[in-house]
Amino acid sequence: MTEVIKTLIFSGVAIAISLVAAFVSWPRAAEQTESRVGTALFEQFTDPLAASSMKIVTFDDETGQLSTFEVRKDPKTEEWTIPSRDGYPADALEQMKNAANAFVALKVLDTQTDKAEDHDDLGVAEPKLEDLQVGDEGVGRLVTLKNGKQETIAELIIGDIPKDDASQRYVRIPGQDPVYVVRFDDSPLTTAFREWIDNDLLQLSSIELSSLEILDYNASLAMGGKISLTRNYTADVGLDGTEWKLNSLMDYDPSRPGAAPTAADLASLAPLNKAKLDELKTALDDLKIADVVRKPDGMSETLRADQNLLTDKEAVNSLAQRGFYPVPSGPNGEIEILSANGELDVTLNTGVKYVLRFGNISGVEDSNADSDAGVNRYLLVTTKVDETQFPVPDLEAVPKTVDEMKAKMAPAKANPPEGEVKENPKVDEPETEAPSEKEGPTGDQSDKPQPAEEKADSTASADIPKAKADAEVESPAQGEGSTEPNALGQPESKSGPADAAGDQSEKADTPTGISESSGGGEATGTGQAQQDAAPAPAENTDESTEKSDQPKSENTDPAPTNDATANDATANDATATSPPSEPAEDTEAPAEPEELTEEEWQEMLEAEQEKVIKQNQRMMDERKDRLEDAQRRVRDLNARFADWYYVIPEATYSKLRFKRADLFEQPADVGQPQPPGIPGLPGGLPQFNFPGAPGN
């Protein structure tokens, strides 16, 4: 057998074996591919809560760059963060659960192809930077889910949407050629930063807003590393419910750098622009951020930095690039941060004050910014406690001795009689006019006693002290000195009634006037009894005689007709003034504590001390609780704001900061133009060389 024949035989055998192998293997591969239809694409992944991280890699064919978005749960704290945003806190619990469920329920509907050359056409090419360049098309999104041990539990390349069904997707497992058709909701797989965070940045409610302070100024880095600062105006605006009120407005003169501001005449200004201010309030309540960038080390939660920050050129340049400039402030060498576009201070009725500082526009060099966010603005946020909302309450003095307690209680006992003395003249004035016809005869006969038959028409001066004594017995609270205990125990004293009637000069009071002053109906009866009784000496004012005569006088005949009107007025006055007479009866009660023993007084003192101490402590505790709540809220908020520059949309920025003229419904009488930056450092701030500037 020649060599040629041998070669042909071997070649034929090889071809036959290849054909047999192809024939045997082809149906088996097809059988394996078809067996995936109707089955779960990730059979081992059944618990969505097992997913502890998700990474999404996308390719931008216009720039030829890959972008990565990742969320991860810390295994120790179990808090979600965004590693692709420097570990910013994520609100990812529900979002992550929805994303993981999309993989758990994923089933194969069909196999579109098993050829690698079809991957680009179906949009499932793997996003590998080393294999890609600008303009490459057909690159899919690579999504990787891992468990707490960082073991891959699901990985998928998501491609195009089939033409005949928008609810379906072409997908492929990395490293495998088959392309499957699945029904897949990829909305939870968004890479939009704001979809994975708590969008309520400030965590305030507009109904809590109490006041605003608008600090409109511009700061920039001038030649030679100097800070150029231009102050425009500062306004303090209060909010009561839905009504805005301008508390103060300070204007700066751009032609006089460094000059003190002038206070605007509020009365000459136009009404506030309520629509603009309401828009600002809503923007604060709904403030959303587009992105975040971590702040440099050395800055504290209150946005004050230490001196070490000025020596860190990298940190200072990071601040300056975003429109924030550290300047010396305070006697202890503190470093304050000025912002390029002013500040807005927002005070809540809870005592929490927000300070919002507006920086430069966020440029395209920030790779973390969303490509569809448009123009953005850097923002620094901090909070502090407004101490003015927590004044120390006025505490009541605690009595230390019994005498101090008595002195404290004395005004309260004397007040009711003083009130009656002030009230009775008002009641007496119209009533005393009725018997005015008899005032003349009464005054003419005040120096001598009258016969019994003449007492129906006039009143003797000798009867006046007796009637006055009767009035004092019935209502000791009426008249000056009537509240003294010894006013009822000195039958021979004439000074009491004489002093009470001293205001009438040389003319004695009429019986009607005395009854009105007493404020009781019994005094009227006494006056009637005197009209029919025999004249008695003024000295006969014995208390027992008065009490014995009083009930007897009530049964005597009424006064003559010409005195009936006065008697009726007296009775009406007694009825009208009877309520004020009740406190007068209470004035006799203080006589009882004087009979207490020292032990009883001491017990009263201790009880009063305990009462005052508890009341003072309650007021102090209420203030302390409110202050601690504000301090706790400030700590929590500052811990959240501490490490970040925030990036807000320019549309939001325009609602939070506006010119002076925009503050009013129409231009104010005294307007200030917005000047360009003025070199130097007006407004009383010191000039200094900015760290990191050329030549420094």
HSE (CB half, 13 Å, CA atoms) of 541? 26
Dihedral sign for Cα 281, 285, 290, 293, please.
positive
Q: Is it the case that residue 31 has pLDDT exceeding 80? A: no
pLDDT confidence of 54, banded at 50, 70, 90? very high
Task: Tell me the three state secondary structure of residue 216.
Answer: strand
Higher-confidence residue: 688 or 381? 381
pLDDT, average across residues 95-123:
91
Structure tokens at 678: 């003025």
As a whole number of angstroms, the distance between CA 389 and CA 353 comes to: 11
- Predicted local confidence at residue 660, as pLDDT: 92
The torsion of the CA quartet 41, 42, 46, 50, rounded to 10 degrees, works out to -140
The listed range with the strongest mean pLDDT (443-447, 456-460, 663-667) is 663-667
Residues in CB range of 660: below 8 A, 6 or more apart: 216, 232, 233, 235, 251, 668, 671, 672
Q: Residues 165, 109: contact at Cβ < 8 Å?
A: no
Q: Which stretches of 340-457 are assigned E, i.e. beta strand?
A: 343-348, 352-362, 376-385
Q: Is it the case that residue 586 has pLDDT exceeding 70? A: no
Higher-confidence residue: 299 or 573? 299
**Which residues are paired to 385 by β-bridges?**
352
pLDDT tens digit sequence for 205-242: 989 999 999 999 999 988 777 888 899 999 999 999 99
Domain range annotation of the chain: 34-196, 206-389+643-663, 413-595
Q: Is it the case that residue 527 has pLDDT exceeding 60? A: no
The position carrying tokens 């930077």 is 129
- Predicted local confidence at residue 577, as pLDDT: 44
**pLDDT, the chain, mean:** 73
pLDDT, average across residues 39-48:
90
- Predicted local confidence at residue 314, as pLDDT: 81
As a whole number of angstroms, the distance between CA 427 and CA 429 comes to: 6
pLDDT, average across residues 629-634:
95
pLDDT, average across residues 157-177:
92
pLDDT tens digit sequence for 455-499: 434 443 444 334 333 434 343 444 444 444 443 344 444 444 434
% of the chain beyond a pLDDT of 70 = 60
User: CB 601: neighbour CB atoms within 10 A?
Assistant: 17
User: CB 639: neighbour CB atoms within 10 A?
Assistant: 10
DSSP 668-681: -SS----PPP-SS-
Q: Is it the case that residue 278 has pLDDT exceeding 90? A: yes
pLDDT tens digit sequence for 241-277: 999 999 999 999 988 877 899 999 999 999 999 999 9
User: CB 614: neighbour CB atoms within 10 A?
Assistant: 10
% of the chain beyond a pLDDT of 90 = 39
Q: Is it the case that residue 641 has pLDDT exceeding 80? A: yes
- Predicted local confidence at residue 409, as pLDDT: 83
DSSP H or E run through 8: helix 3-34
Least confident of 158-162, 430-434, 667-671, 692-696: 430-434
- Predicted local confidence at residue 266, as pLDDT: 93
- Predicted local confidence at residue 11, as pLDDT: 66
In terms of Cα–Cα distance, which of 157, 161, 160, 169 is closest to 126? 157
Least confident of 221-235, 404-418, 567-581: 567-581
pLDDT, average across residues 567-593:
46
In terms of Cα–Cα distance, which of 307, 317, 433, 291 is closest to 696? 317
DSSP H or E run through 213: strand 209-221
Helices and strands (DSSP H and E) totals, the chain? 17, 20
Least confident of 56-65, 137-146, 406-415, 442-451: 442-451
Question: What does DSSP say about strands 152-158 and 80-82: parallel, antiparallel, or unpaired?
Answer: unpaired
Return phi, psi of residue 345, to 5°. Answer: -100, 130
- Predicted local confidence at residue 468, as pLDDT: 39
- Predicted local confidence at residue 28, as pLDDT: 39
Q: Is it the case that residue 446 has pLDDT exceeding 50? A: no
Least confident of 409-413, 419-423, 499-503, 654-658: 499-503
Write down the pTM of the prediction.
Answer: 0.62
Higher-confidence residue: 83 or 9? 83
Q: Is it the case that residue 3 has pLDDT exceeding 70? A: no
Q: Is it the case that residue 530 has pLDDT exceeding 50? A: no
In terms of Cα–Cα distance, which of 146, 136, 47 is closest to 97? 47
pLDDT tens digit sequence for 534-549: 444 444 444 444 444 4
Tell me which DSSP letter residue 305 carries. Answer: B
Q: Is it the case that residue 638 has pLDDT exceeding 70? A: yes
As a whole number of angstroms, the distance between CA 621 and CA 623 comes to: 5
- Predicted local confidence at residue 658, as pLDDT: 87
As a whole number of angstroms, the distance between CA 248 and CA 268 comes to: 13
